[in-house]
Protein backbone atom coordinates (compact mmCIF):
# COMPACT_ATOMS: atom_id res chain seq x y z
CA UNK A 1 0.00 0.00 0.00
CA UNK A 2 1.18 3.49 -0.83
CA UNK A 3 1.64 5.91 2.01
CA UNK A 4 -0.79 8.85 1.95
CA UNK A 5 0.63 12.16 0.82
CA UNK A 6 0.14 14.20 3.99
CA UNK A 7 1.21 17.42 2.26
CA UNK A 8 -1.54 17.06 -0.34
CA UNK A 9 -4.06 16.20 2.38
CA UNK A 10 -3.07 19.24 4.42
CA UNK A 11 -3.47 21.53 1.39
CA UNK A 12 -6.90 20.07 0.65
CA UNK A 13 -7.92 20.35 4.27
CA UNK A 14 -6.78 23.96 4.40
CA UNK A 15 -8.68 24.73 1.20
CA UNK A 16 -11.77 23.03 2.64
CA UNK A 17 -11.59 25.12 5.83
CA UNK A 18 -11.15 28.30 3.79
CA UNK A 19 -14.28 27.53 1.76
CA UNK A 20 -16.26 26.80 4.93
CA UNK A 21 -15.03 30.06 6.47
CA UNK A 22 -16.02 32.04 3.37
CA UNK A 23 -19.48 30.45 3.40
CA UNK A 24 -19.96 31.34 7.07
CA UNK A 25 -18.85 34.95 6.51
CA UNK A 26 -21.08 35.34 3.45
CA UNK A 27 -24.04 33.87 5.34
CA UNK A 28 -23.53 36.20 8.30
CA UNK A 29 -23.27 39.24 6.04
CA UNK A 30 -26.40 38.30 4.13
CA UNK A 31 -28.33 37.54 7.34
CA UNK A 32 -27.44 40.99 8.68
CA UNK A 33 -28.58 42.69 5.46
CA UNK A 34 -31.77 40.57 5.40
CA UNK A 35 -32.73 41.57 8.96
CA UNK A 36 -32.13 45.25 8.25
CA UNK A 37 -34.18 45.13 5.04
CA UNK A 38 -37.01 43.24 6.77
CA UNK A 39 -37.21 45.91 9.48
CA UNK A 40 -37.16 48.60 6.78
CA UNK A 41 -39.94 47.07 4.69
CA UNK A 42 -42.22 46.45 7.66
CA UNK A 43 -42.20 50.23 8.26
CA UNK A 44 -43.71 50.86 4.82
CA UNK A 45 -46.05 47.93 4.23
CA UNK A 46 -49.80 48.43 4.50
CA UNK A 47 -50.94 46.57 7.66
CA UNK A 48 -54.43 46.00 6.23
CA UNK A 49 -53.00 43.67 3.57
CA UNK A 50 -51.50 41.36 6.21
CA UNK A 51 -54.41 41.29 8.66
CA UNK A 52 -57.25 40.60 6.24
CA UNK A 53 -60.14 38.26 6.97
CA UNK A 54 -59.01 36.02 4.10
CA UNK A 55 -56.00 34.10 5.43
CA UNK A 56 -55.03 33.11 1.89
CA UNK A 57 -54.39 36.71 0.79
CA UNK A 58 -52.44 37.42 3.97
CA UNK A 59 -50.25 34.34 3.40
CA UNK A 60 -49.59 35.33 -0.21
CA UNK A 61 -48.62 38.85 0.84
CA UNK A 62 -46.27 37.51 3.54
CA UNK A 63 -44.52 35.26 1.01
CA UNK A 64 -44.22 38.14 -1.45
CA UNK A 65 -42.83 40.37 1.32
CA UNK A 66 -40.13 37.82 2.13
CA UNK A 67 -39.15 37.68 -1.55
CA UNK A 68 -38.98 41.49 -1.62
CA UNK A 69 -36.83 41.43 1.52
CA UNK A 70 -34.44 39.01 -0.17
CA UNK A 71 -34.26 41.23 -3.26
CA UNK A 72 -33.70 44.39 -1.24
CA UNK A 73 -30.92 42.66 0.73
CA UNK A 74 -29.20 41.77 -2.56
CA UNK A 75 -29.60 45.38 -3.70
CA UNK A 76 -28.00 46.64 -0.50
CA UNK A 77 -25.21 44.09 -0.94
CA UNK A 78 -24.60 45.38 -4.48
CA UNK A 79 -24.30 48.93 -3.11
CA UNK A 80 -21.76 47.83 -0.48
CA UNK A 81 -19.83 45.58 -2.89
CA UNK A 82 -17.41 48.11 -4.40
CA UNK A 83 -16.80 50.16 -1.20
CA UNK A 84 -16.16 46.96 0.77
CA UNK A 85 -13.65 45.80 -1.86
CA UNK A 86 -11.81 49.14 -1.86
CA UNK A 87 -11.61 49.28 1.93
CA UNK A 88 -10.50 45.63 2.10
CA UNK A 89 -7.66 46.33 -0.32
CA UNK A 90 -6.44 49.26 1.80
CA UNK A 91 -6.68 47.23 5.01
CA UNK A 92 -4.61 44.43 3.48
CA UNK A 93 -2.06 46.99 2.30
CA UNK A 94 -1.78 48.54 5.76
CA UNK A 95 -1.78 45.23 7.71
CA UNK A 96 -0.42 42.59 5.32
CA UNK A 97 0.45 39.92 7.90
CA UNK A 98 -2.01 40.57 10.67
CA UNK A 99 -3.37 37.33 12.15
CA UNK A 100 -6.86 38.72 12.82
CA UNK A 101 -7.58 39.68 9.20
CA UNK A 102 -6.44 36.50 7.51
CA UNK A 103 -10.07 35.80 6.67
CA UNK A 104 -10.06 38.89 4.43
CA UNK A 105 -8.58 37.79 1.11
CA UNK A 106 -9.12 37.96 -2.62
CA UNK A 107 -11.02 34.67 -2.72
CA UNK A 108 -13.66 36.00 -0.31
CA UNK A 109 -14.09 39.27 -2.25
CA UNK A 110 -14.32 37.45 -5.58
CA UNK A 111 -16.87 35.06 -4.11
CA UNK A 112 -19.01 37.94 -2.87
CA UNK A 113 -19.00 39.54 -6.33
CA UNK A 114 -20.09 36.25 -7.91
CA UNK A 115 -22.83 35.72 -5.31
CA UNK A 116 -24.23 39.21 -5.81
CA UNK A 117 -24.23 38.72 -9.58
CA UNK A 118 -25.93 35.32 -9.27
CA UNK A 119 -28.65 36.41 -6.85
CA UNK A 120 -29.24 39.64 -8.77
CA UNK A 121 -30.01 37.52 -11.84
CA UNK A 122 -32.20 35.25 -9.76
CA UNK A 123 -34.15 38.13 -8.21
CA UNK A 124 -34.68 40.15 -11.39
CA UNK A 125 -35.54 37.28 -13.70
CA UNK A 126 -37.41 34.85 -11.42
CA UNK A 127 -38.20 36.01 -7.87
CA UNK A 128 -39.71 39.44 -8.54
CA UNK A 129 -41.87 38.31 -11.49
CA UNK A 130 -42.98 35.36 -9.33
CA UNK A 131 -43.86 37.72 -6.45
CA UNK A 132 -45.89 39.99 -8.74
CA UNK A 133 -47.79 37.20 -10.49
CA UNK A 134 -48.29 35.48 -7.15
CA UNK A 135 -50.01 38.50 -5.59
CA UNK A 136 -52.18 39.01 -8.69
CA UNK A 137 -53.12 35.34 -9.18
CA UNK A 138 -56.42 33.80 -8.11
CA UNK A 139 -55.96 30.19 -9.21
CA UNK A 140 -57.23 28.47 -12.33
CA UNK A 141 -60.96 28.37 -12.94
CA UNK A 142 -62.48 25.23 -11.44
CA UNK A 143 -59.48 24.46 -9.22
CA UNK A 144 -59.62 24.34 -5.44
CA UNK A 145 -58.96 27.59 -3.66
CA UNK A 146 -55.73 27.87 -1.75
CA UNK A 147 -52.15 29.00 -1.93
CA UNK A 148 -51.13 25.93 -3.95
CA UNK A 149 -53.55 26.82 -6.75
CA UNK A 150 -52.03 30.29 -6.96
CA UNK A 151 -48.56 28.76 -7.11
CA UNK A 152 -49.59 26.61 -10.10
CA UNK A 153 -50.97 29.62 -11.94
CA UNK A 154 -47.87 31.70 -11.17
CA UNK A 155 -45.52 28.97 -12.40
CA UNK A 156 -47.46 28.66 -15.66
CA UNK A 157 -47.34 32.44 -16.14
CA UNK A 158 -43.58 32.45 -15.51
CA UNK A 159 -43.05 29.66 -18.05
CA UNK A 160 -45.03 31.57 -20.67
CA UNK A 161 -43.10 34.76 -19.90
CA UNK A 162 -39.79 32.87 -20.18
CA UNK A 163 -40.76 31.46 -23.57
CA UNK A 164 -41.77 34.93 -24.73
CA UNK A 165 -38.45 36.46 -23.66
CA UNK A 166 -36.42 33.61 -25.19
CA UNK A 167 -38.32 33.96 -28.45
CA UNK A 168 -37.69 37.70 -28.55
CA UNK A 169 -33.96 37.15 -27.96
CA UNK A 170 -33.89 34.48 -30.70
CA UNK A 171 -35.58 36.81 -33.20
CA UNK A 172 -33.32 39.72 -32.27
CA UNK A 173 -30.22 37.54 -32.64
CA UNK A 174 -31.40 36.25 -36.01
CA UNK A 175 -31.97 39.80 -37.26
CA UNK A 176 -28.78 41.39 -35.89
CA UNK A 177 -26.28 38.52 -36.12
CA UNK A 178 -27.45 35.75 -38.41
CA UNK A 179 -24.63 33.20 -38.27
CA UNK A 180 -24.22 29.64 -37.07
CA UNK A 181 -22.08 30.43 -34.02
CA UNK A 182 -24.62 32.95 -32.76
CA UNK A 183 -27.49 30.52 -33.21
CA UNK A 184 -25.61 27.74 -31.43
CA UNK A 185 -24.86 30.00 -28.47
CA UNK A 186 -28.59 30.52 -28.00
CA UNK A 187 -28.91 26.90 -26.86
CA UNK A 188 -26.70 27.60 -23.84
CA UNK A 189 -29.21 29.01 -21.38
CA UNK A 190 -26.87 29.55 -18.42
CA UNK A 191 -23.79 30.83 -20.24
CA UNK A 192 -25.55 33.00 -22.81
CA UNK A 193 -29.14 33.90 -22.02
CA UNK A 194 -28.88 34.94 -18.39
CA UNK A 195 -25.61 36.94 -18.66
CA UNK A 196 -26.82 38.59 -21.88
CA UNK A 197 -30.19 39.47 -20.35
CA UNK A 198 -28.52 40.77 -17.20
CA UNK A 199 -26.11 42.78 -19.36
CA UNK A 200 -29.08 44.47 -21.04
CA UNK A 201 -30.71 45.16 -17.66
CA UNK A 202 -27.43 46.51 -16.29
CA UNK A 203 -27.06 48.78 -19.32
CA UNK A 204 -30.58 50.11 -18.71
CA UNK A 205 -29.65 50.64 -15.06
CA UNK A 206 -26.52 52.58 -16.06
CA UNK A 207 -28.62 54.76 -18.38
CA UNK A 208 -31.13 55.29 -15.57
CA UNK A 209 -28.29 56.34 -13.27
CA UNK A 210 -27.12 58.77 -15.96
CA UNK A 211 -30.51 60.49 -15.87
CA UNK A 212 -31.31 60.25 -12.15
CA UNK A 213 -27.92 61.09 -10.64
CA UNK A 214 -27.56 64.64 -12.07
CA UNK A 215 -31.16 65.35 -11.10
CA UNK A 216 -30.53 63.97 -7.62
CA UNK A 217 -27.32 65.97 -7.20
CA UNK A 218 -29.32 69.13 -7.87
CA UNK A 219 -32.17 68.02 -5.59
CA UNK A 220 -29.86 67.16 -2.68
CA UNK A 221 -29.49 70.84 -1.81
CA UNK A 222 -33.24 71.41 -1.46
CA UNK A 223 -33.78 68.09 0.38
CA UNK A 224 -31.01 68.91 2.87
CA UNK A 225 -32.44 72.40 3.30
CA UNK A 226 -35.79 70.89 4.33
CA UNK A 227 -34.18 68.58 6.88
CA UNK A 228 -31.91 71.16 8.50
CA UNK A 229 -32.72 74.45 10.21
CA UNK A 230 -31.82 77.42 8.05
CA UNK A 231 -30.44 80.72 9.39
CA UNK A 232 -33.00 83.39 10.20
CA UNK A 233 -31.97 85.38 7.13
CA UNK A 234 -33.19 82.55 4.86
CA UNK A 235 -36.19 81.31 6.84
CA UNK A 236 -38.94 82.99 8.87
CA UNK A 237 -40.31 80.27 11.15
CA UNK A 238 -42.67 82.61 13.01
CA UNK A 239 -44.54 83.46 9.83
CA UNK A 240 -44.76 79.78 8.86
CA UNK A 241 -46.16 78.91 12.29
CA UNK A 242 -48.78 81.65 12.04
CA UNK A 243 -49.83 80.52 8.56
CA UNK A 244 -50.03 76.89 9.70
CA UNK A 245 -52.14 77.84 12.75
CA UNK A 246 -54.53 79.95 10.61
CA UNK A 247 -54.97 77.17 8.05
CA UNK A 248 -55.61 74.61 10.78
CA UNK A 249 -58.18 76.89 12.45
CA UNK A 250 -59.98 77.45 9.13
CA UNK A 251 -60.15 73.72 8.40
CA UNK A 252 -61.32 72.92 11.93
CA UNK A 253 -64.09 75.53 11.66
CA UNK A 254 -65.17 74.06 8.33
CA UNK A 255 -65.30 70.56 9.85
CA UNK A 256 -67.31 71.71 12.88
CA UNK A 257 -69.78 73.71 10.78
CA UNK A 258 -70.18 71.91 7.42
CA UNK A 259 -73.55 73.56 6.65
CA UNK A 260 -71.89 76.98 6.20
CA UNK A 261 -70.65 75.96 2.75
CA UNK A 262 -73.09 75.15 -0.05
CA UNK A 263 -70.58 72.84 -1.72
CA UNK A 264 -70.36 69.16 -0.63
CA UNK A 265 -67.31 68.62 1.62
CA UNK A 266 -65.03 65.59 1.74
CA UNK A 267 -64.73 65.18 5.50
CA UNK A 268 -62.07 62.47 5.25
CA UNK A 269 -59.87 64.73 3.12
CA UNK A 270 -60.34 67.61 5.56
CA UNK A 271 -59.32 65.41 8.50
CA UNK A 272 -56.18 64.30 6.64
CA UNK A 273 -55.30 67.93 5.91
CA UNK A 274 -55.73 68.85 9.57
CA UNK A 275 -53.46 65.99 10.65
CA UNK A 276 -50.86 67.04 8.09
CA UNK A 277 -50.96 70.63 9.35
CA UNK A 278 -50.62 69.48 12.97
CA UNK A 279 -47.60 67.36 12.06
CA UNK A 280 -46.11 70.30 10.17
CA UNK A 281 -46.66 72.60 13.14
CA UNK A 282 -44.93 70.17 15.51
CA UNK A 283 -41.92 70.02 13.17
CA UNK A 284 -41.83 73.82 12.92
CA UNK A 285 -41.88 74.09 16.72
CA UNK A 286 -38.89 71.75 16.93
CA UNK A 287 -37.05 73.78 14.28
CA UNK A 288 -37.77 77.01 16.15
CA UNK A 289 -36.26 75.57 19.34
CA UNK A 290 -33.03 74.66 17.56
CA UNK A 291 -29.84 76.15 18.99
CA UNK A 292 -27.88 78.92 17.35
CA UNK A 293 -25.08 76.45 16.50
CA UNK A 294 -27.48 74.22 14.59
CA UNK A 295 -29.04 77.19 12.85
CA UNK A 296 -25.97 79.20 11.90
CA UNK A 297 -23.32 76.47 11.57
CA UNK A 298 -25.04 73.20 10.64
CA UNK A 299 -26.83 74.45 7.51
CA UNK A 300 -23.81 76.25 5.95
CA UNK A 301 -21.51 73.29 6.66
CA UNK A 302 -23.98 70.82 5.10
CA UNK A 303 -24.36 72.99 2.01
CA UNK A 304 -20.58 73.36 1.77
CA UNK A 305 -20.06 69.57 2.03
CA UNK A 306 -22.64 68.94 -0.69
CA UNK A 307 -21.02 71.54 -2.92
CA UNK A 308 -17.53 70.07 -2.39
CA UNK A 309 -18.66 66.48 -3.04
CA UNK A 310 -20.58 67.47 -6.17
CA UNK A 311 -17.73 69.58 -7.52
CA UNK A 312 -15.24 66.82 -6.77
CA UNK A 313 -17.38 64.29 -8.65
CA UNK A 314 -17.57 66.50 -11.73
CA UNK A 315 -13.81 67.20 -11.54
CA UNK A 316 -12.95 63.47 -11.36
CA UNK A 317 -15.19 62.74 -14.35
CA UNK A 318 -13.58 65.58 -16.32
CA UNK A 319 -10.09 64.22 -15.56
CA UNK A 320 -11.25 60.74 -16.56
CA UNK A 321 -12.45 62.09 -19.91
CA UNK A 322 -8.94 63.41 -20.58
CA UNK A 323 -7.45 60.07 -19.51
CA UNK A 324 -9.71 58.24 -21.96
CA UNK A 325 -8.30 60.34 -24.79
CA UNK A 326 -4.70 59.70 -23.74
CA UNK A 327 -4.43 56.31 -22.06
CA UNK A 328 -6.24 53.12 -23.09
CA UNK A 329 -5.82 51.73 -19.55
CA UNK A 330 -8.51 54.16 -18.36
CA UNK A 331 -11.18 52.04 -20.05
CA UNK A 332 -13.25 49.93 -17.63
CA UNK A 333 -12.40 46.24 -17.80
CA UNK A 334 -12.94 43.06 -15.88
CA UNK A 335 -10.51 41.31 -13.56
CA UNK A 336 -10.73 37.56 -13.07
CA UNK A 337 -8.09 37.27 -10.34
CA UNK A 338 -8.80 39.40 -7.28
CA UNK A 339 -5.21 40.06 -6.17
CA UNK A 340 -5.84 42.38 -3.24
CA UNK A 341 -3.32 43.93 -0.92
CA UNK A 342 -0.61 44.49 -3.54
CA UNK A 343 -1.18 48.04 -4.79
CA UNK A 344 -3.53 50.87 -3.88
CA UNK A 345 -6.24 51.73 -6.39
CA UNK A 346 -5.96 55.44 -5.56
CA UNK A 347 -3.11 57.84 -6.24
CA UNK A 348 -3.64 59.37 -2.79
CA UNK A 349 -3.41 56.07 -0.93
CA UNK A 350 -5.79 55.36 1.93
CA UNK A 351 -7.08 58.95 1.97
CA UNK A 352 -8.01 58.69 -1.70
CA UNK A 353 -9.71 55.35 -1.08
CA UNK A 354 -11.86 56.94 1.63
CA UNK A 355 -12.80 59.75 -0.77
CA UNK A 356 -13.76 57.16 -3.41
CA UNK A 357 -16.01 55.33 -0.95
CA UNK A 358 -17.68 58.57 0.16
CA UNK A 359 -18.29 59.63 -3.45
CA UNK A 360 -19.77 56.24 -4.37
CA UNK A 361 -22.24 56.39 -1.46
CA UNK A 362 -23.02 60.04 -2.21
CA UNK A 363 -23.80 59.34 -5.86
CA UNK A 364 -25.95 56.35 -4.92
CA UNK A 365 -28.00 58.43 -2.48
CA UNK A 366 -28.28 61.19 -5.08
CA UNK A 367 -29.47 58.72 -7.71
CA UNK A 368 -32.21 57.43 -5.38
CA UNK A 369 -33.29 61.01 -4.61
CA UNK A 370 -33.32 61.85 -8.31
CA UNK A 371 -35.21 58.65 -9.13
CA UNK A 372 -38.05 59.43 -6.74
CA UNK A 373 -38.02 63.11 -7.75
CA UNK A 374 -38.49 62.41 -11.45
CA UNK A 375 -42.07 62.80 -12.74
CA UNK A 376 -42.02 59.34 -14.30
CA UNK A 377 -41.29 57.45 -11.05
CA UNK A 378 -42.78 59.83 -8.50
CA UNK A 379 -45.86 57.64 -8.12
CA UNK A 380 -43.63 54.76 -6.91
CA UNK A 381 -42.50 56.73 -3.86
CA UNK A 382 -43.28 54.59 -0.76
CA UNK A 383 -45.47 55.95 2.01
CA UNK A 384 -45.13 55.23 5.70
CA UNK A 385 -47.40 52.25 6.60
CA UNK A 386 -49.41 52.89 3.42
CA UNK A 387 -47.55 51.16 0.57
CA UNK A 388 -49.34 48.47 -1.41
CA UNK A 389 -47.64 45.13 -2.01
CA UNK A 390 -47.36 45.64 -5.78
CA UNK A 391 -45.78 49.05 -5.14
CA UNK A 392 -43.23 47.46 -2.78
CA UNK A 393 -42.35 44.95 -5.52
CA UNK A 394 -41.88 47.76 -8.03
CA UNK A 395 -39.65 49.68 -5.63
CA UNK A 396 -37.49 46.63 -4.94
CA UNK A 397 -37.04 45.95 -8.66
CA UNK A 398 -36.05 49.55 -9.39
CA UNK A 399 -33.64 49.73 -6.45
CA UNK A 400 -32.03 46.43 -7.49
CA UNK A 401 -31.56 47.69 -11.06
CA UNK A 402 -29.95 50.91 -9.78
CA UNK A 403 -27.74 49.23 -7.19
CA UNK A 404 -26.55 46.39 -9.44
CA UNK A 405 -25.46 48.99 -12.01
CA UNK A 406 -23.58 51.04 -9.39
CA UNK A 407 -20.20 49.18 -9.69
CA UNK A 408 -20.26 49.51 -13.49
CA UNK A 409 -21.40 53.15 -13.17
CA UNK A 410 -18.58 54.02 -10.75
CA UNK A 411 -15.87 52.33 -12.83
CA UNK A 412 -17.15 53.83 -16.10
CA UNK A 413 -16.98 57.36 -14.66
CA UNK A 414 -13.51 56.77 -13.26
CA UNK A 415 -14.54 57.31 -9.64
CA UNK A 416 -12.31 54.36 -8.75
CA UNK A 417 -9.56 52.38 -10.46
CA UNK A 418 -10.77 49.12 -8.91
CA UNK A 419 -11.52 46.83 -11.85
CA UNK A 420 -14.79 44.91 -12.03
CA UNK A 421 -14.67 41.36 -10.70
CA UNK A 422 -16.47 38.25 -11.92
CA UNK A 423 -19.24 38.55 -14.47
CA UNK A 424 -19.61 42.30 -13.89
CA UNK A 425 -16.65 42.83 -16.24
CA UNK A 426 -18.01 40.61 -19.03
CA UNK A 427 -20.41 43.19 -20.47
CA UNK A 428 -19.57 43.75 -24.14
CA UNK A 429 -20.40 47.46 -24.21
CA UNK A 430 -17.73 48.22 -21.58
CA UNK A 431 -15.04 47.81 -24.22
CA UNK A 432 -16.63 50.33 -26.62
CA UNK A 433 -14.65 53.58 -26.41
CA UNK A 434 -17.36 55.75 -27.93
CA UNK A 435 -20.04 54.57 -25.49
CA UNK A 436 -17.78 55.11 -22.45
CA UNK A 437 -16.55 58.51 -23.68
CA UNK A 438 -20.03 59.81 -24.53
CA UNK A 439 -21.34 58.51 -21.21
CA UNK A 440 -18.71 60.45 -19.26
CA UNK A 441 -19.27 63.60 -21.30
CA UNK A 442 -23.04 63.36 -20.89
CA UNK A 443 -22.76 62.90 -17.12
CA UNK A 444 -20.44 65.90 -16.72
CA UNK A 445 -22.62 68.08 -18.94
CA UNK A 446 -25.96 67.12 -17.36
CA UNK A 447 -24.63 67.49 -13.81
CA UNK A 448 -23.17 70.93 -14.52
CA UNK A 449 -26.36 72.08 -16.23
CA UNK A 450 -28.63 70.88 -13.40
CA UNK A 451 -26.40 72.41 -10.73
CA UNK A 452 -26.14 75.81 -12.44
CA UNK A 453 -29.88 75.98 -13.03
CA UNK A 454 -30.87 74.77 -9.56
CA UNK A 455 -28.29 76.77 -7.62
CA UNK A 456 -29.03 80.07 -9.34
CA UNK A 457 -32.80 79.53 -9.00
CA UNK A 458 -32.46 78.58 -5.31
CA UNK A 459 -30.28 81.59 -4.51
CA UNK A 460 -32.66 83.91 -6.36
CA UNK A 461 -35.72 82.48 -4.58
CA UNK A 462 -34.10 82.64 -1.13
CA UNK A 463 -33.03 86.26 -1.62
CA UNK A 464 -36.52 87.20 -2.80
CA UNK A 465 -38.08 85.54 0.27
CA UNK A 466 -35.49 87.06 2.61
CA UNK A 467 -36.28 90.60 1.44
CA UNK A 468 -40.03 89.96 1.37
CA UNK A 469 -40.40 90.59 -2.34
CA UNK A 470 -42.58 87.48 -2.75
CA UNK A 471 -45.37 89.24 -0.79
CA UNK A 472 -45.42 92.25 -3.11
CA UNK A 473 -48.09 92.42 -5.88
CA UNK A 474 -45.36 92.27 -8.53
CA UNK A 475 -44.76 89.64 -11.23
CA UNK A 476 -41.55 88.26 -9.68
CA UNK A 477 -39.87 85.45 -11.65
CA UNK A 478 -40.40 82.08 -10.03
CA UNK A 479 -43.52 83.18 -8.07
CA UNK A 480 -47.13 83.35 -9.25
CA UNK A 481 -48.78 86.73 -9.52
CA UNK A 482 -50.97 87.49 -6.52
CA UNK A 483 -54.68 87.43 -7.21
CA UNK A 484 -56.86 90.54 -6.96
CA UNK A 485 -58.63 89.14 -3.95
CA UNK A 486 -55.33 88.71 -2.13
CA UNK A 487 -54.21 92.22 -3.08
CA UNK A 488 -57.39 93.84 -1.72
CA UNK A 489 -57.06 91.86 1.51
Distance of CA 320 to the CA centre of its chain: 24
Residue 312 has pLDDT above 80, yes or no: yes
Residue 35 has pLDDT above 90, yes or no: yes
Long-range Cβ contact pairs of 397-400 (< 8 A, separation 24 or more): 397/71, 397/124, 397/128, 398/371, 399/72, 399/75, 399/368, 400/71, 400/72, 400/74, 400/75, 400/78, 400/120, 400/123, 400/124, 400/128
Q: What pLDDT, in 10s, does the model give residues 385-426?
A: 778 888 888 889 989 988 888 888 888 888 887 766 666 666
Q: By CB neighbour count within 10 A (0-12 exposed, 13-18 middle, 19+ buried), where does 351 fall? A: exposed
Residue 367 has pLDDT above 50, yes or no: yes
What distance in Å separates the CA atoms of residue 53 and residue 138, rounded to the nearest whole number? 16
Phi and psi at residue 462, in whole multiples of 5°? -65, -40
pLDDT at 249: 75
The DSSP string of 336-403 is SS---SSS-SSTTTHHHHHHHHHHHHHHHHHHHHHHHHSTTTGGG---TT-B-HHHHHHHHHHHHHHH
CA nearest to 223, candidates 274, 312, 299: 299
pLDDT at 471: 60
Q: What pLDDT, in 10s, does the model give residues 39-81?
A: 998 888 887 777 766 677 788 888 888 999 999 999 999 899 8
Angle at 463 between CA 461 and CA 465, to 5 degrees: 70
Higher pLDDT: 153 or 261? It is: 153
What distance in Å separates the CA atoms of residue 238 and residue 232, rounded to the nearest whole number? 10
Q: What pLDDT, in 10s, does the model give residues 195-235?
A: 666 677 777 888 898 888 888 888 888 787 777 766 655 55
Enter the pTM of the model.
Answer: 0.77
Lowest mean pLDDT among 182-191, 241-250, 270-279, 300-309: 182-191
DSSP-based three-state secondary structure for 420: strand
List Cβ neighbours of 173 (8 Å cut-off, separation of 6 or more): 182, 183, 186
The torsion angle over the Cα atoms of residues 216, 389, 114 and 34, rounded to 10 degrees, is 100
Residue 318 near residue 364 (C-beta atoms within 8 A): no
- The whole-number average pLDDT for the span 288-316 is 78
| Domain range summary for the chain, segments of one domain joined by + | 7-227+294-451
Q: What pLDDT, in 10s, does the model give residues 244-297?
A: 777 777 777 766 766 655 555 666 677 677 777 767 676 666 666 666 666 667
What distance in Å separates the CA atoms of residue 197 and residue 214, rounded to the nearest whole number? 27
Residue 158 near residue 126 (C-beta atoms within 8 A): yes
Amino acid sequence: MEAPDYEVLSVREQLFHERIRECIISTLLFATLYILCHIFLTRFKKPAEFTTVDDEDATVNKIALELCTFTLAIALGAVLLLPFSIISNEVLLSLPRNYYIQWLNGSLIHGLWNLVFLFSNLSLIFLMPFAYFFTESEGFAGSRRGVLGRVYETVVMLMLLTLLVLGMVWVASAILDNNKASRESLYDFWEYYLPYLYSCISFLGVLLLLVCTPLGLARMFSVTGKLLVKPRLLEDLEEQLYCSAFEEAALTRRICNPTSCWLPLDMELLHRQVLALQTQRVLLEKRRKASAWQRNLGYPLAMLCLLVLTGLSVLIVAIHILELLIDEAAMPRGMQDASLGQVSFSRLGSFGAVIQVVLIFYLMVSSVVGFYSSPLFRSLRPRWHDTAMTQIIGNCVCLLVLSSALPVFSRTLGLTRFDLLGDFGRFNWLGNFYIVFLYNAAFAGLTTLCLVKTFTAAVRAELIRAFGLDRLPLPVSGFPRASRKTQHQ
